[in-house]
């Protein structure tokens, strides 16, 4: 099947149990009804010449190259638009067809530059291939008449060009933009000879295009082609790997010439993306070889000193000696580590192993602390496992999509496109978000309800939805009776039915119109398969865990769990958030979410690792910082995480880092945290190592080494060296051996191995004896915990309140072209789309403050003050302001507070009371940052690179 998935069958392959059998050129083939004759022929390795067809989009039938003869039918129908039928007898190679095809091809070639030898798509061009295929040897029409040979080239997009003289107007790009990406940026303008591809009257860069590359991939000629391929030639080798940006986990073919990646082609057989991508995964990989990469280990005794390059051995020995000195002086718990959701499962597993087996404590935490730790807590309490319930494909069976606190088209774009496709096909949509995200209204999509709640009111809104469902008799009683704990349900039902949870009673606190909320609740409960997708707008609150449980309650009450099309779906931010949690990165859990106090689990690891393990949960990141400020936490190993930029209340974090005696940073770049570090260990990008990432669907995908580690060591090798120096013996020769150890010790991973991953492509855990190929949908017959557990979710307003000094609420988010703290994306040409973070403010609030669009404004909270430029927009409601956090020099987290989720300490990034005023200068924090010059220089460099 993998081979077939790599083949371009010309039109999409239909699925289904029933088949029709037809005969093509004397061979019988059985295909599901609706499959085209073209795809049927491709499936028996008998490809029919084609130009306008490709299997990522529906057939169009314009080029007439794919003609066939069908017994009993007149003429020569196009095979791409003709469905296969039972008993059909098809001929694809007759003298008449050959003559007709040659004629078609002759017309195309007569208006096409014949510069094949110097063309960037030479040997990689379907027009060229088909001309050879049909045996075209000469062209009777000259170039003297009207033609398009001097049509202009649009090179405005930083990653690809549009060379319109080579366009054959096959419309594959237009259809890819509509059907696959859902952006509708392209059209065919004009008719007949005058027809051409249009980008809305502007160039590509200024158009609606979001640079996903689907059109480039679909283009059969060199018209749309990657700039790097144009510059460097066609790639020579391919490595299948996984994107290292977001939690969608798209599979790519990294195509290389020597050790240089020339393009990333979305992998059709990749189950998370099925051949699609976004701008980041497809184009923004240049950071991996950016000149800012630090490739030599460095040390310094004091953070005021300059860095000194040293050998790997010296750097590791220094870190290990400091470890011994500090632990001897300050005690067992004075040391700890932070692992990263950017790193592979294997790397993360090694870091926690080093801590537990070598430090003698459980002081290991992960950046998932600051994003999805409430998901782990909330879903574990209600369903019994800390993960989303579905695969991405499930959305194709959804009737009512609920998106709460997530912005899929910006933060999870490939899944966003999939969701939009389902919405265009008729699914209903409820958006619960303070801001008007793109999904609320975009081409051919309009949310049925947009509940514009105030930041911090998630639980009030979710309880009100539950109130309507319970009091209006919309509960799926059969499901609840069979699958859930009944006594527990009844106490929950009484709780939410209380009039204080009604939409009317909570309207003032939530800001949501009660009528709209009631209608949305009815739609979710009665509209068929309902699926809830949520993101950091749910978790990063003081009641993040409560919100997750309230979402789970809603899904159980309406019976929307345990089959395709429904479920609770956390959209994970980083590439391996799910995996880093699965691998035991939290201070209270071993891999597979097993508490450190469970004797049997501890004994499993003690037997294998040969040391006694602590049964006391260790320090979380905020505890490490607090204890550092108190003087009892002194040594920290941070792998692939930039807490000085990404964690809230920057001043508090940096004070903690300054108070430590040895901070070891392992990263690609000298990040903000490295400013407080004593040892710098160069990291390796995803292109330089083997391993696995686990995406938001629990799908374990292989990461494969495309080039050798630029600094000489992959990250797992660095951790292993440090562990050995500290006294934890490790002798893995390949990350597959680490995965074998995970499988041997973790029941949900029991059936996972690299061999199995290579065989199946990817695996969704649990994968064990009862589910040897993995589990696409969880909780099918019973919840992992047995009976589903309804949890009482009392709404408690955050301590962070607006008042006369801070009358506005700040909330934060991401944009498509950038990624998290921007360390990667700002070092790519994507900087052209987002050179700075801006503050979105409603016209009413702007006018009250005399702020005009583009003005520099001061944004002040109880924690701190920064300055940034204002963007006046009605995307935000009055009383709410919004910004992104992609640029270190903005310092968005200087203003966020240290309030956090009651259960998990996940910071409350999404609610900060602020004031905004015009200013003519940057804040003290920013000026100090600029004096030190680090982050400002970085953006200037990115822009200069992009300009090049
Ligand atoms: S890059 Fe994507 S969004 Fe842009 S025109 Fe092509 S398909 Fe459309
Ligand atoms: S740009 Fe490429 S895909 Fe689009 S119409 Fe022209 S040849 Fe076809
Ligand atoms: S959607 Fe996410 S995983 Fe896929 S290409 Fe984009 S950033 Fe990478
Ligand atoms: S490939 Fe069928 S008409 Fe173009």
Q: Answer yes or no: is pLDDT of 3 > 60.
A: no
Give the whole-angstrom CA distance, residue 879 versus residue 868.
18
| Window from 237-246, 443-452, 620-629, 882-891 with minimum mean pLDDT | 882-891
Which pLDDT band, with edges at 50, 70 and 90, does 911 fall under? confident
From the CA of 181, the nearest ligand is 1
pLDDT at 936: 40
The residue contributing the CA closest to ligand 1 atom 7 is 177
Q: Answer yes or no: is pLDDT of 822 > 80.
A: no
Q: Which of 159, 253, 280 to mutate to test the pocket of ligand 3 (most atoms within 8 A of CB)?
A: 280
Q: Which range in 12-26, 134-148, 418-432 is most confidently predicted, on average pLDDT?
A: 418-432
Q: Answer yes or no: is pLDDT of 338 > 50.
A: yes
Q: Answer yes or no: is pLDDT of 565 > 90.
A: yes
Cis, peptide link before residue 766, omega less than 30° from 0: yes
Q: Does ligand 2 come within 6 angstroms of the Cβ of 173?
A: yes
Q: Which of 9, 53, 58, 76 to mutate to test the pocket of ligand 4 (most atoms within 8 A of CB)?
A: 53
Mean pLDDT over residues 909-936, rounded?
Answer: 75
- Ligand 4 centroid from CA 11, angstroms: 10
pLDDT at 929: 65
DSSP 871: E
pLDDT at 907: 77
The secondary structure element, H or E, covering residue 39 is: helix 37-43
From the CA of 573, the nearest ligand is 3
What ligand 2 atom has the least distance to the C-alpha of 166? 7
- Ligand 2 centroid from CA 438, angstroms: 27
From the CA of 281, the nearest ligand is 3
| Window from 48-62, 305-319, 346-360, 889-903 with minimum mean pLDDT | 889-903
What ligand 1 atom has the least distance to the C-alpha of 279? 1
DSSP 67: B
pLDDT at 376: 84
What ligand 3 atom has the least distance to the C-alpha of 415? 1
- Ligand 3 centroid from CA 945, angstroms: 23
Q: Are 548 and 556 in contact (CB under 8 A)?
A: no
Q: Answer yes or no: is pLDDT of 557 > 80.
A: yes
Q: Answer yes or no: is pLDDT of 814 > 90.
A: no
Q: Answer yes or no: is pLDDT of 590 > 50.
A: yes
The residue contributing the CA closest to ligand 3 atom 2 is 246
- 137 or 580, higher pLDDT: 580
Q: Answer yes or no: is pLDDT of 410 > 50.
A: yes
Q: Compute CA distances 563 → 144, 254, 517, 529, 766, whole Å.
A: 63, 35, 26, 9, 16
Mean pLDDT over residues 887-914, rounded?
Answer: 82
**Predicted confidence (pLDDT) per residue in 70-97, tens digit:** 999 999 999 999 999 999 999 999 999 9
The residue contributing the CA closest to ligand 1 atom 5 is 209
What ligand 3 atom has the least distance to the C-alpha of 249? 3
89 forms bridges with which residues in the sheet? 23
Q: Tokens representing 503?
A: 């939409």
pLDDT at 143: 61
Quickly tell me which residue has 């990034």 as its tokens.
909
Give the three-state DSSP class for 276.
Answer: coil
What ligand 1 atom has the least distance to the C-alpha of 180? 7
**Among residues 926, 892, 929, which one has the least CA distance to residue 909?**
892
Which pLDDT band, with edges at 50, 70 and 90, does 421 fall under? very high
- Ligand 3 centroid from CA 166, angstroms: 30
Mean pLDDT over residues 559-571, rounded?
Answer: 95
- Ligand 3 centroid from CA 375, angstroms: 21
Q: Answer yes or no: is pLDDT of 939 > 80.
A: no
Quickly tell me which residue has 């000149």 as its tokens.
291
**Among residues 304, 57, 59, 76, which one has the least CA distance to residue 181?**
57
Q: Are 861 and 912 in contact (CB under 8 A)?
A: yes
Residues 6 or more apart whose CB falls under 8 angstroms from that of 813 comprise: 407, 410, 411, 435, 536, 537, 882, 884
The secondary structure element, H or E, covering residue 510 is: helix 503-510
pTM, rounded to two decimals: 0.92
DSSP 687: G
Residues 6 or more apart whose CB falls under 8 angstroms from that of 53 comprise: 10, 11, 38, 59, 60, 63, 66, 80
- Ligand 4 centroid from CA 632, angstroms: 71
Which pLDDT band, with edges at 50, 70 and 90, does 4 fall under? very low
- Largest Cα span, the chain: 92
Q: Compute CA distances 71 → 7, 41, 87, whole Å.
A: 27, 16, 10
Percent of the chain with pLDDT over 70: 96
Report, in this order, helix, strand and coil percent for the chain, each rounded to 5. Answer: 35, 20, 45
pLDDT at 146: 67
Q: Order of strands across the sheet with 224-226?
A: 153-154, 160-163, 224-226
Q: Tokens representing 403?
A: 């998106």
Q: If you average pLDDT over every residue of the chain, what do you get?
A: 91
Give the whole-angstrom CA distance, residue 169 versus residue 187.
10
Q: What is the CA radius of gyration of the chain?
A: 29
């Amino acid at each position: 099947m993998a081979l077939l998935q790599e083949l371009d069958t010309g039109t999409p392959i239909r699925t289904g149990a029933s088949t029709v059998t037809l005969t093509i050129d004397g061979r019988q083939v059985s295909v599901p009804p609706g499959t085209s004759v073209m795809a049927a022929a491709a499936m028996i390795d008998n490809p029919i010449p084609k130009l306008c067809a490709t299997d990522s989009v529906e057939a169009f039938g314009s080029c007439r190259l794919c003609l066939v003869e069908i017994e009993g039918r007149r003429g020569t129908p196009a095979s791409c638009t003709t469905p296969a039928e039972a008993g059909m007898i098809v001929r694809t190679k007759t003298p008449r067809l050959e003559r007709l095809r040659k004629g078609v091809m002759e017309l195309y070639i007569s208006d096409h530059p014949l510069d094949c030898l110097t063309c960037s798509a030479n040997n990689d061009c379907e027009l060229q291939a088909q001309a050879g295929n049909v045996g075209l040897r000469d062209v009777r029409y000259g170039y003297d008449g009207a033609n398009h040979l001097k049509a202009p080239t649009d090179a405005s997009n930083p990653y690809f060009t549009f060379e319109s003289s080579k366009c054959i107007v096959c419309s594959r790009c237009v259809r890819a933009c509509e059907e696959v990406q859902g952006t509708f940026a392209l059209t065919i303008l004009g008719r007949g000879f005058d027809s051409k591809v249009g980008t809305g009257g502007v160039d590509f860069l200024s158009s609606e295009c979001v640079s996903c590359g689907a059109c480039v991939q679909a283009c059969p000629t060199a018209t749309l082609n990657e700039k790097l391929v144009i510059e460097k030639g066609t790639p020579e080798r391919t490595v299948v790997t996984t994107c290292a940006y977001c939690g969608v986990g798209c599979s790519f073919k990294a195509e290389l010439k020597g050790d240089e990646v020339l393009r990333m082609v979305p992998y059709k057989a990749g189950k998370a993306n099925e051949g699609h991508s976004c701008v980041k995964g497809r184009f923004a990989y240049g950071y991996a070889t950016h000149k800012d990469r630090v490739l030599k280990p460095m040390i310094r005794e004091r953070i005021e000193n300059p860095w000194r390059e040293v050998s790997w051995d010296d750097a590791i020995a220094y870190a290990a000696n400091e470890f011994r000195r500090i632990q001897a002086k300050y005690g067992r718990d004075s040391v700890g580590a932070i692992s990263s959701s950017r790193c592979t499962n294997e790397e993360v597993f090694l870091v926690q192993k080093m801590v537990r087996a070598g430090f003698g404590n459980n002081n290991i935490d992960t950046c998932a602390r600051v994003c999805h730790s409430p998901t782990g807590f909330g879903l574990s309490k209600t369903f019994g496992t800390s993960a989303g319930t579905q695969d991405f494909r499930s959305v194709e069976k959804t009737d009512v999509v609920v998106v709460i606190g997530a912005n899929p088209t910006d933060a999870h774009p490939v899944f966003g496109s999939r969701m939009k496709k389902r919405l265009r096909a008729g699914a209903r949509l409820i958006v619960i978000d303070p801001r008007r995200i793109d999904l609320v209204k975009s081409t051919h999509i309009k949310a049925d309800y947009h509940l514009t709640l105030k930041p911090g009111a998630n639980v009030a809104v979710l309880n009100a939805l539950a109130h309507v469902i319970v009091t209006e008799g919309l509960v799926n009683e059969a499901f609840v009776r069979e699958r859930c704990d009944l006594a527990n349900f009844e106490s929950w039902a009484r709780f939410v039915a209380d009039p204080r949870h009604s939409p009317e009673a909570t309207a003032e606190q939530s800001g949501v119109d009660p009528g709209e909320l009631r209608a949305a609740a009815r739609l979710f409960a009665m509209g068929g398969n309902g699926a809830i997708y949520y993101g950091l707008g749910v978790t990063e609150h003081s009641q993040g865990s409560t919100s997750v449980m309230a979402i789970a309650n809603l899904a159980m009450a309406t019976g929307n769990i345990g089959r395709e099309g429904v479920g609770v779906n956390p959209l994970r931010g980083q590439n391996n958030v799910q995996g880093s949690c699965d691998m035991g990165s939290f201070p209270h859990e071993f891999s597979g979410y097993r508490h450190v106090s469970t004797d049997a689990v501890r004994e499993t690891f003690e037997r294998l690792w040969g040391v006694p393990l602590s049964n006391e949960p260790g320090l979380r990141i905020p505890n490490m910082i607090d204890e550092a400020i108190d003087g009892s936490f002194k040594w920290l190993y941070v792998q692939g995480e930039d807490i000085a930029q990404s964690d809230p209340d920057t001043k508090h974090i940096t004070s903690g880092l300054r108070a430590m005696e040895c901070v070891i940073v392992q990263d690609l770049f000298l990040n903000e945290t490295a400013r407080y570090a004593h040892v710098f260990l160069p990291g390796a990008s995803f292109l330089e190592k083997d391993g696995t990432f686990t995406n938001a669907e629990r799908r374990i995908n292989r990461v494969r080494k495309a080039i050798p580690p630029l600094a000489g060591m992959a990250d797992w090798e660095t951790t292993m060296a440090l562990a050995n120096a500290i006294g934890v013996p490790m002798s893995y020769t390949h990350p597959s051996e680490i995965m074998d150890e995970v499988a041997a010790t973790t029941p949900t991973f029991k059936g996972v191995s690299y061999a199995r991953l290579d065989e199946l492509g990817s695996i969704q855990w649990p994968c064990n004896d009862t589910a040897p190929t993995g589990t696409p949908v969880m909780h099918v017959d019973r919840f992992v915990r047995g009976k589903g557990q309804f949890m009482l979710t009392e709404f408690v307003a955050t301590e962070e309140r607006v008042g006369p000094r801070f009358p506005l609420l700040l909330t934060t988010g991401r944009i498509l072209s950038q990624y998290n703290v921007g360390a990667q994306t700002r070092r790519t040409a994507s900087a052209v789309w987002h050179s700075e973070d801006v503050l979105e403010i409603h016209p009413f609030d702007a006018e009250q403050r005399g702020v005009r669009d583009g003005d520099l404004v001061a944004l002040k909270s109880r924690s701190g003050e920064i300055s940034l430029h204002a963007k006046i927009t009605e995307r935000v409601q009055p009383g709410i302001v919004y910004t992104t956090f992609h640029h270190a020099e903005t310092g968005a987290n200087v203003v966020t507070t240290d309030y956090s989720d009651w259960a998990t300490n996940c910071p409350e990034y999404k609610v900060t009371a602020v004031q905004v005023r015009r200013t003519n200068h940057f804040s003290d924090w920013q000026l100090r940052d600029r004096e030190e010059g680090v982050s400002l220089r970085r953006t200037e460099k990115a822009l200069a690179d992009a300009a090049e």
